[in-house]
Amino acid sequence: MTPSRRRISGHLLTGLTWFLVVVHLVPIAWMVYCGVKDNQEILSGKVLPGRRQNDVVFLRETPAGFLAGTADGGVTLFGNDLRRERHLELGTFATSFWLDAQAGTLWVLSSNRGLQLVDVGKLALKHTYGVDAIAEAYGKEWATLWVNEVAGSGLGRWGDSLYLSYQIKGYPGVTAFSPATGKFRPMGGFSSRQAGMVRQLARPGSDSNPNGSDAAITVLTNQGIFRHSLQPGMPDKALRAGKLPAVPERICALDERRLLMSADSRAFIYDVVADTVLAWLDRKPGSGIITAFASSPGRLWLGDSRGATAMPDLFPAPVAARFVPGGGEGNIPAAPTLEFSPRFPRVAGRDGDITSHRITAILPLPNGGALLGGPNGTLSLLDADGKPVAEAAAPLSSVYLHWRNYVDLWRNIDFGLYLKNSFIVCIGVMLVAMVLASMGGYALARFNFPGKNLFGYSVLATQMVPGIMLLLPLYLMFINFSRATGLVVKGSYSGLILTYAAYFVPFSIWILRGFFASLPKELEEAALVDGCGPLQAFFRIIIPSALPGIIATGVYVFLSAWDELMFAWVLTDEKTYTIPVGIRLFVGNFQNRYDLMMAAATVSTIPVMILFFLMQRHIVSGLTAGAVKE
């Protein structure tokens, strides 16, 4: 081969090597990546992260302009011509808003940040009352919040208090918050708690007597509608959900006694006081699901996947009727309706180019027009004739990668406990093994005594025994020992540590024997001449000079114990579960939560990675020395 050809083939081989290194690392990179990804995106097979869902969910008119809030916690102030003026990114999820126009503040509720207070004038975050503060109010009753699974939240202010709720199974109803004291208060006794989750809150009725005995919020759950008294101790009243034309999905208060609700493509108006349905309205076939609604004096607004419809409010009094916009049926006269077809700007958002006209928020304007909000933070301003006059979009939300999986791991599945247990057990085994194996290895390396070979080979032979062979009798031994003496062994740290030590010490003795044999004999001979006893020589001279080897062996034992599942599975209980046992349990309980699984996998790999790279040189040389020399 000529030198130049040799150089080229050398480059090719180097390139091949690096290519293989990269391919080899793909699974690990994928594991870490999926640990910060959204599970929905994993399940839909998306490789690159999309953007976070940021529908416009909140629209209000303020003296400074239009205020728009998106589901991902973006708050944007637009001028009257929809020019974007200011923007605040809160980075929240499942967000809902409540504007206190008099105080000039905006309350924001989200699943990851809890309740936040925003100064509207400066558009700046003033204060955060975190999710933990809410959980604290409940103590043990409610401590688990799967940030990822919260579908939405409800927030409203009536009287002195704010009322809030998360749309997730297991959330205990409605929580009150007092802005004056900054304290959360469980409402207690909420009858839908067992029934399901709260979807939305609404309160028909004036604020004139928030402390009156009839003061109540109306709570829409997936199991029906409840009137929840604001007075402690008052029973909840289930509204006649069974008599509604459909199980409602969204709800809002029209005035003091009427609620507007919708389910699928049907809306209905409900009288709270009379507990009766006033009328229901079916959208034209093909209009799709009602996605938003609003009311303005004398008018009702419905939004769906094509646009918004405004119709006269003809239902102040009970009239058993069915009403089709534009058509008319029953004893209600056909009423003229007005269609608002928005023109949203094209935004490359979470789902690519949006062509849909899905309406997510409606703000009726005093001039008879409306401001409509859509997906990806898009807005469309329409005049009184339903013609679009201006359009705008809030800034794009950030890419959907997050640390929430790690928060969930710690808050909801006790991963901290598993981590602690693993560390206690592994460090325990490491120490025991280091002490016993350095004594045993030294004895084998330096002394001749009857039984030496017997011991050496039986120690090696233990490595060939299947673990289950030990586990069956150990399990019975531990249980019977506890029954006989009352000392708990199964499920204790010490039981597992001793079992592991018996498993790992033989191998460690064999490695350390090599280390001690490679030390020069003159070391302890000099010490003996100086008048040290053999024990003194061992502790003063030998141990310090063999320390790198001993530590490397200890680390190896640590890594092996960290990786042990079978013994731990059988010999631990819920207080001493180590990481592999804990992961196995939660993987069984939460199927298809690949984001959490990968986060857990990453957390359990990091400690051993760090440990290994700190000790890499010693471990590698220790292992290979044994192999090459033998």
Partner 1 sequence: MKKLALAWTRHKVPYIFLLPTVIGLLLLQAAPILQGLYLGFLRSRKDKLLDYLSAPWAGLENYREILFNPASPIRSGLWDAVRNTVLYTIAVTLGTLVVGMAMALLVNREFRFRSAARTLMLFPWIVPTYVVGLLWGFLWQREVGLVNIILVDWLHLFTVKPTWLIGPNTLWAIILPTVWRQWPFSMLMLLAGLQSIPKDVYEAAEIDGAGHWQSFRRITWPLLKPVWAILLLHGLIFNVYSFNIVIMMFGNGAGYPGKHGDLLMTDLFRNSFQMWDFGTGAAMSSLLMLAMMTLVFLWYRAFRDQLTGK
Residues 507-526 binding partner 1 (CB under 8 A) are 509
Q: Is 45 in the site for partner 1 (CB under 8 A)?
A: yes
Query: For tokens 């061992």, what's the residue?
Result: 538
- Residue 267 or 568 with smaller CB distance to partner 1: 568
Q: Residue 411 Cβ, how far from partner 1 at the closest point, in Å?
A: 21
Q: Residue 22 Cβ, how far from partner 1 at the closest point, in Å?
A: 9
Q: Tell me the site size for partner 1, rule CB under 8 A.
A: 98
The enclosing H or E element of 26 equals helix 3-34
Binds partner 1 by CB under 8 A, chosen from 505, 511, 527, 542: 505
* Residues numbered 236-295 forming contacts with partner 1, rule: CB under 8 A: none
Residue 51 has phi, psi (to 5 degrees) of -95, 165
Q: Residue 399 Cβ, how far from partner 1 at the closest point, in Å?
A: 19
Q: Where are the alpha helices (DSSP H) in 398-521?
A: 404-412, 415-446, 452-461, 467-485, 493-518
In angstroms, the CA 106 to CA 289 distance is 29
* Residues numbered 149-168 forming contacts with partner 1, rule: CB under 8 A: none
Q: Residue 276 Cβ, how far from partner 1 at the closest point, in Å?
A: 48
Q: Which two tokens stand for residue 334?
A: 């056909």
- Residue 498 or 547 with smaller CB distance to partner 1: 498
Among the listed ranges 381-389, 512-520, 548-556, 620-628, the one in contact with partner 1 (CB under 8 A) is 620-628
Q: Residue 563 Cβ, how far from partner 1 at the closest point, in Å?
A: 4
In angstroms, the CA 272 to CA 630 distance is 87
User: What are the b/e assignments for 119-130, b being 16+ CB within 10 Å?
Assistant: ebeebebeeebe
Cβ-Cβ contacts under 8 Å for 505 (sequence gap 6 or more)? 432, 433, 436, 437, 440
| Cα angle value 214/216/218 (rounded, 5°) | 140
User: What are the b/e assignments for 191-224, b being 16+ CB within 10 Å?
Assistant: bbbeeebbbbbbbbbeeeeeeeeebbbbbbbebb
In angstroms, the CA 280 to CA 329 distance is 11
Q: Residue 52 Cβ, how far from partner 1 at the closest point, in Å?
A: 20
Q: Residue 466 Cβ, how far from partner 1 at the closest point, in Å?
A: 5
In angstroms, the CA 411 to CA 403 distance is 13
CB 118 within 8 A of CB 127: no
Q: Residue 426 Cβ, how far from partner 1 at the closest point, in Å?
A: 11
Contacts within 8 Å (CB) and 24+ apart, 112-119: 112/147, 112/404, 112/407, 113/73, 115/155, 115/162, 115/164, 115/177, 116/90, 116/92, 117/179, 118/75, 118/88, 118/90
What's the Cα-to-Cα distance from 12 to each of 1, 3, 19, 20, rounded to whole Å? 15, 14, 10, 12
* Residues numbered 8-37 forming contacts with partner 1, rule: CB under 8 A: 10, 13-14, 16-18, 20-21, 24-28, 30-31, 34
- Residue 23 or 317 with smaller CB distance to partner 1: 23
Q: Is 532 in the site for partner 1 (CB under 8 A)?
A: no
In angstroms, the CA 370 to CA 284 distance is 21
Q: Which two tokens stand for residue 454?
A: 């017997």
Q: Residue 474 Cβ, how far from partner 1 at the closest point, in Å?
A: 5
- Residue 323 or 556 with smaller CB distance to partner 1: 556
Q: For residue 187, count CB atoms less than 10 angstroms from its CB and return exposed for 0-12, middle for 13-18, buried for 19 or more.
A: buried
- Residue 138 or 455 with smaller CB distance to partner 1: 455
Query: For tokens 């604001």, what's the residue?
Result: 230
Binds partner 1 by CB under 8 A, chosen from 482, 534, 543, 545: 534
Binds partner 1 by CB under 8 A, chosen from 565, 573, 574, 614: 565
Among the listed ranges 262-270, 302-310, 338-346, 440-448, the one in contact with partner 1 (CB under 8 A) is 440-448
Q: Is 332 in the site for partner 1 (CB under 8 A)?
A: no
Q: Residue 461 Cβ, how far from partner 1 at the closest point, in Å?
A: 8
Binds partner 1 by CB under 8 A, chosen from 66, 226, 344, 442: 442
* Residues numbered 455-494 forming contacts with partner 1, rule: CB under 8 A: 455, 458-459, 461-474, 476-477, 479-480
Q: Residue 351 Cβ, how far from partner 1 at the closest point, in Å?
A: 18
In angstroms, the CA 124 to CA 180 distance is 20
* Residues numbered 90-109 forming contacts with partner 1, rule: CB under 8 A: none
- Residue 1 or 317 with smaller CB distance to partner 1: 1
* Residues numbered 587-616 forming contacts with partner 1, rule: CB under 8 A: 587-588, 591, 594, 597-598, 600-601, 604-605, 608-609, 612-613, 616
* Residues numbered 345-374 forming contacts with partner 1, rule: CB under 8 A: none
In angstroms, the CA 437 to CA 509 distance is 4
The enclosing H or E element of 58 equals strand 56-62
Binds partner 1 by CB under 8 A, chosen from 555, 562, 577, 622: 562
Q: Residue 565 Cβ, how far from partner 1 at the closest point, in Å?
A: 5
Binds partner 1 by CB under 8 A, chosen from 401, 439, 532, 551: 439
- Residue 20 or 274 with smaller CB distance to partner 1: 20
Q: Residue 390 Cβ, how far from partner 1 at the closest point, in Å?
A: 41
Q: Is 180 in the site for partner 1 (CB under 8 A)?
A: no
| Strand, helix or coil for residue 100 | strand
Torsion angle of the four alpha carbons 385, 390, 395, 401, in this order, in degrees rounded to the nearest 10: 40
Q: Residue 398 Cβ, how far from partner 1 at the closest point, in Å?
A: 24
Q: Which one-letter amino acid corresponds to residue 290?
A: I
* Residues numbered 418-437 forming contacts with partner 1, rule: CB under 8 A: 436-437
Q: Is 620 in the site for partner 1 (CB under 8 A)?
A: yes
Q: Which two tokens stand for residue 546?
A: 């063999």
| Cross-strand bridge partners of residue 70 | 56
